[in-house]
Amino acid sequence: MELTFLGGATTVTGSQYLLDIGTARVLVDCGMFQGSPNETERNRIAFAYEPREIDALLLTHAHLDHCGLIPHLVASGFRGPIFATAGTNELTGIVLMDAAKLQTEFAKRKRRERRRHAPGGQPAGNVEADLRAQGPVVKTEIEEPLYTEADVVAAMGHFRQVSYGAQVDVARGMTARFHDAGHILGSAIIEIHAGGRTIVCSGDLGRQHSPIVRDPTVLGDADYVLIESTYGGREHEPEAKAIEILAETVNAVNDAGGVLLVPSFAIGRTQDMIWELDQLVAAKRIPQLPLYLDSPMASKATDIYRRHPECFDDEMRALLATKEDPLDYPGAKITNDPDESRAIKDAPRPYMIVASNGMLTGGRVLAHLRDLIDDPNATLLFVGYQGEGTLGAYLQAGTKRAVIDGVERDVRCRVRSIDGFSAHADEPGLLGWIGAFAKGRRAGDAGFPRQVFIVHGDPDAEHALEPKVRALGFATKIPTWRERVTLD
């Protein structure tokens, strides 16, 4: 039995793990690399396996860094089933369709730029040669998108719905069980049984007591565990403190007659932010400022959330029972049309914008940032993790100059961050989850993991978490990209 780490290894994106048990080869996740060019270029390198030889894919959840390469996989020859929960099935469809549209638009823009700047109108540079230094290249960024909307439609035909807690035969000699990960709607911890061994993949673990969805499921038996480490070495602010900072920020923007810009991932974080703002308005802790939800995908995702109350926690159920919809900020303006998005800058101040993407690596939020970055009455509020090498990470670190659309700009807007709204468990949460596998047992006992793999984190986060996991009695390993290990 072999496990190969094809993404989410010393990086927080590109989640993809290949489990080969001899009788079957199964993928867990098939995510897109995001962030710096060094990371995103990996999306253009040929798969480390023959897609036709993969028997099945198990998907933890619908974020792009976990599902983003699925259409490319199918277009490259994968013919097997894709197992995921009902919520993940629906959310993945809108995530992948949005990604296909953005790739197509980006490729067209790049071709125009190259023709405009090349002598005699001929393409300049050699992107493909640069990529080939890392491995075989399937498609270059300049030539075409990795996949199209038609590829997304074809890929969605492979999805098979799985219920939480149900055991499913996923391939010859392999079964799996999906447990609630508490990260976003439909997110799952995947427990795999094969060859008399149990492998648990944490996926992305959510916070305890976060709004809307249930807390992560606690498991206690495994032979091997893959645990995410996004917030290794970091502890979130207490929830009350995070809410206080949010209220202070909104009130300060109101007093200044300014604009609050919140970069937020369309799925999970946006719904949480709307919840928190709605509760603050109801409690009269903030004024009811106009809110522009400038993300068509977020609007569609919120509708999907409403269709799956079976995934909600008790607090959400109780609010719905009173006919209050905490996913509906009073008077929120949903801007689906690009012209409506561009017109926001002319709206009477003060107002708030929630727009994707959360790390400022693309999407409508960049247009708003371009308008607001040198405005001292504007506030840029980060409510989620900023990956290494992203514009969001540089701004969060306090840079005074930033490049947007190729132009260097002064940063005069106010920049604030709140960790308490992250959809990821922090280090104490991660240690509490993995610690359940050690309760009442020690190495060598049945159900005590033989090894814990620290994955899905930037290097600093992985190395911060590893010694603390080892201190619980586990053998640990931080795998590298494309490393293969034998599971005894």
Q: Which amino acid is at 110?
A: K
Whether 91 and 194 share a structural domain: yes
Whether 50 and 139 share a structural domain: yes
> Would you state the structure tokens that stand for residue 462, as one six-digit string?
């992985």
Whether 369 and 387 share a structural domain: yes
pLDDT of the residue at 134: 45
Instruction: Report the CATH number at residue 403.
Output: 3.40.50.10890
Q: Beta-strand (E) ranges in 42-195?
A: 56-58, 82-85, 159-162, 167-171, 174-180, 188-194
Provide Rg for the chain, Cα atoms: 22
In terms of C-beta density within 10 A (0-12 exposed, 13-18 middle, 19 or more buried), how is residue 233 classed?
A: middle
- Residue ending a domain, among 383, 417, 451, is 417
Domain count, the chain: 2
Q: How far apart are CA 457 and CA 461, in angstroms?
A: 6
- Residue ending a domain, among 417, 438, 471, is 417
Whether 79 and 173 share a structural domain: yes
CA proximity to 81, closest of 1, 26, 3: 26
DSSP code, position 477: E
Q: Are 452 and 227 spatial neighbours (Cβ–Cβ below 8 Å)?
A: yes
CB < 8 Å & 24+ apart, contacts of 396-402? 402/373
Instruction: Report the CATH number at residue 80.
Output: 3.60.15.10
- Residue ending a domain, among 358, 383, 417, is 417
Whether 271 and 207 share a structural domain: no
Angle in degrees, 0-180, between the axes of helices 239-256 and 269-282, rounded to the nearest 10 = 70
Whether 258 and 165 share a structural domain: no
Whether 324 and 443 share a structural domain: no
CB 119: neighbour CB atoms within 10 A? 6
pLDDT by position in tens, the chain (length 488): 999 999 999 999 999 999 999 999 999 999 999 877 788 889 999 999 999 999 999 999 999 999 999 999 999 999 999 999 999 999 999 999 989 988 888 777 777 766 666 555 444 444 444 444 444 444 545 568 999 999 999 999 999 999 999 999 999 999 999 999 999 999 999 999 999 999 999 999 999 888 889 999 999 999 999 999 999 999 998 888 989 999 999 999 999 999 999 998 778 778 888 889 998 999 999 999 999 999 888 888 888 998 998 899 988 888 777 766 667 788 889 898 889 999 999 999 999 999 988 788 778 899 999 999 999 999 999 987 787 778 888 999 999 998 887 788 999 999 999 887 888 999 999 999 999 999 989 898 999 999 999 999 999 999 999 999 999 999 999 999 999 999 98
Whether 312 and 201 share a structural domain: no
Whether 162 and 76 share a structural domain: yes
Structural domain for 129, as ranges: 2-233+423-486
Q: How far apart are CA 485 and CA 488, in angstroms?
A: 9
Whether 193 and 311 share a structural domain: no
In terms of C-beta density within 10 A (0-12 exposed, 13-18 middle, 19 or more buried), how is residue 215 classed?
A: middle
Whether 120 and 265 share a structural domain: no
Whether 169 and 186 share a structural domain: yes
Q: Are strands 197-201 and 224-228 parallel, antiparallel or unpaired?
A: parallel
